[in-house]
């Protein structure tokens, strides 16, 4: 499985968590594997858990760069993708920021609309420009 496929699986888990916030990460992974939605990999699990554990910090960056859009106004798809990308860029050093942004924008194109992927790309570009010096 490629890193991109693992990233997409982590996105699916984060998206699901946005509807089932009271279910812990391990249980969501277990349910997704049992239902055949994902294949459990260490990177998928790590990225999903790391994002879930750091939501407050990640969301503060999303609020900062979303220019008057509160996290509550952002679509669940875009929010899950933004959270995933910022987590990967901030906490996982092995993946270059440009690769993460490109793959997240492609996932946004797949799961959302043109307006959404432009919005996601803009926030991530601003985040990297200011925070990853």
58: CATH:
1.10.940.10
Q: What CA–CA distance (Å, rounded) separates 112 from 29? A: 23
Give the tens place of pLDDT for each residue, 81-114.
999 999 999 999 888 999 999 999 999 999 998 7
Contact call for residues 8 and 107 (beta carbons, < 8 A) = yes
Q: Which two structure tokens, joined as six digits, stand for 57?
A: 């910090």
Give the tens place of pLDDT for each residue, 23-53.
999 999 999 999 999 999 999 999 999 999 9
Q: 68 pLDDT exceeds 80?
A: no
- pTM, rounded to two decimals: 0.94
Q: Show the domain range for 16.
A: 3-131
**Total number of domains in the chain:** 1
């Amino acid at each position: 499985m490629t890193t991109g496929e693992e990233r997409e699986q982590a996105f699916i888990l984060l998206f699901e968590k946005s509807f089932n916030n009271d279910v812990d990460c391990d249980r969501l992974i277990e349910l997704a594997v049992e239902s055949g939605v994902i294949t459990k990999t260490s990177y998928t699990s790590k990225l999903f858990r790391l994002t879930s554990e750091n939501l407050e910090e990640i969301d503060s960056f999303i609020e900062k760069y979303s220019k008057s859009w509160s996290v509550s106004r952002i679509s669940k798809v875009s929010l899950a993708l933004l959270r995933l990308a910022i987590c990967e860029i901030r906490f996982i050093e092995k993946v270059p920021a440009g690769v993460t942004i490109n793959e997240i924008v492609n996932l946004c194109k797949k799961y959302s609309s043109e307006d959404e992927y432009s919005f996601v790309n803009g926030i991530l570009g601003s985040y990297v420009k200011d925070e990853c010096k």
